[in-house]
């Protein structure tokens, strides 16, 4: 399965929640910065609003990355899926990070796709399907209305859909089999499990802090791309290159790109 721009430029750079080391995660500011920094993919998280709209946010509650406590003081514990899109749009999603980012808002999936256009790839994580029932189906329905995003021959930049939840990923893959899918894990699956993934999983995304060299080799030998998260130091970037990763998910795409260019030049 040919998907990654990594074949052109070594390991691909995935901007984790956008350029989230330098801007509030999963906002237009973080995504625009990652594009300006020439990331190959935006990695981001999608959940469902109370009225069934796919929305871009990582946590299952609004408490950490918005002003929901202030705006809706009687709505604890501020679960994302208890708020309509109209309510989510009233929240500020930037000021918690820095006052300079006041005015950033939670995006819908449609708004994200409009914002990215064909400027960058997208690694979209189906986040917490257990608390977002129907998430895979809702994302499929949205993407079916955006044919350019699910037609590999038309779209210059790839879309990859990932999840920790294998069943949600299978549900998605059954309906849109041409869209590459990534299984996000803490540990690389055991050999028999890894064999089950062969043929339908494009990449395996393990936790970099639990990754062992022999497990990395098993993924690559099985023919899947190895794309660890969240890789934020030069030491780990270099180790990943030594392992032969297909990409790295990082909060600092600009610094990773610089290291990769130096590595190719050196």
- Using Cβ positions, the residue closest to ligand G3P within the complex turns out to be 229
Binding site for Ca ion (CB under 5 A): 45, 125
Apex CA 48: angle with CA 47 and CA 51, to 5°? 165
- Residue among 87 and 203 whose Cβ is closer to ligand G3P: 203
- Residue among 45 and 165 whose Cβ is closer to ligand G3P: 45
- Residue among 162 and 180 whose Cβ is closer to ligand G3P: 162
Distance CA 264, CA 266 (A): 6
Apex CA 263: angle with CA 156 and CA 38, to 5°? 30
Q: Is 209 an annotated catalytic residue? A: no
User: To the nearest whole angstrom, how small is the minimum distance from the Cβ of residue 153 to ligand G3P?
Assistant: 26
- Among ligand G3P, Ca ion, none, the one that 251 touches (CB under a kind-dependent 5 to 8 A) is none
Question: Catalytic pick from 16, 81, 105, 263?
Answer: 16
- Residue among 49 and 250 whose Cβ is closer to ligand G3P: 250
- Among Ca ion, ligand G3P, none, the one that 249 touches (CB under a kind-dependent 5 to 8 A) is ligand G3P
**Is 122:44 a contact under the CB 8 Å cutoff?**
yes
User: To the nearest whole angstrom, how small is the minimum distance from the Cβ of residue 75 to ligand G3P?
Assistant: 24
Beta-carbon neighbour count of residue 211 at 10 Å? 24
The strand pairing partners of 221, in sequence order, are: none
- Phi, psi for 219 (deg, rounded to 5): -65, -45
DSSP code at position 239: H
User: To the nearest whole angstrom, how small is the minimum distance from the Cβ of residue 262 to ligand G3P?
Assistant: 25
CA atoms within 13 A on the CB side of 29: 20
DSSP β-ladder status, 12-16 and 107-108: unpaired
Binding site for ligand G3P (CB under 6 A): 16, 43, 45, 58, 125, 162, 184, 205, 229, 249
- Among Ca ion, ligand G3P, none, the one that 229 touches (CB under a kind-dependent 5 to 8 A) is ligand G3P
User: To the nearest whole angstrom, how small is the minimum distance from the Cβ of residue 123 to ligand G3P?
Assistant: 7
Distance CA 42, CA 38 (A): 10
- Residue among 4 and 44 whose Cβ is closer to Ca ion: 44
Question: Catalytic pick from 58, 105, 209, 261?
Answer: 58
The strand pairing partners of 43, in sequence order, are: 16, 123
Instruction: Return all residues near 185 (Cβ < 8 A) that are at least 6 apart.
Output: 164, 204, 205, 206, 207
User: To the nearest whole angstrom, how small is the minimum distance from the Cβ of residue 129 to ligand G3P?
Assistant: 13
Q: Is 58 an annotated catalytic residue? A: yes
Catalytic residue list = 16, 58
């Amino acid at each position: 399965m040919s998907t990654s721009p990594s074949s052109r430029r070594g390991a691909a750079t995935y901007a984790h929640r956008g350029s989230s080391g330098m801007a509030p995660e999963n906002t237009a500011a973080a995504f625009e910065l990652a594009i300006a920094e020439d990331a190959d993919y935006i990695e981001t998280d999608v959940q469902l609003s109370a009225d069934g709209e796919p929305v871009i946010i990582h946590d299952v509650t609004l408490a950490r990355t918005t002003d929901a406590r202030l705006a809706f003081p009687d709505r604890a514990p501020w679960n994302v899926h208890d708020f309509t899109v109209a309510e989510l749009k009233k929240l500020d999603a930037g000021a918690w990070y820095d006052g300079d980012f006041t005015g950033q808002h939670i995006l819908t999936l449609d708004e994200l796709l409009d914002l990215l256009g064909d400027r960058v790839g997208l690694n979209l994580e189906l986040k917490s399907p257990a608390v977002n029932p129907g998430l895979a189906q809702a994302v499929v329905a949205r993407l079916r209305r955006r044919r350019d995003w699910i037609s590999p021959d038309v779209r210059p930049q790839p879309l990859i859909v990932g999840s920790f939840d294998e069943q949600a990923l299978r549900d998605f893959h059954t309906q849109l089999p041409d869209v590459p899918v990534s299984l996000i894990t803490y540990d690389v699956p055991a050999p028999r499990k890894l064999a089950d993934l062969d043929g339908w999983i494009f990449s395996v995304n393990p936790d970099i802090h639990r990754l062992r060299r022999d497990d990395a080799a098993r993924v690559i030998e099985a023919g899947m791309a190895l794309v660890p998260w969240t890789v934020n130091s030069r030491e780990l970037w270099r180790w990943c290159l030594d392992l032969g990763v297909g990409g790295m998910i990082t909060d600092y795409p600009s610094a990773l790109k610089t290291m990769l260019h130096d590595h190719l030049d050196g």
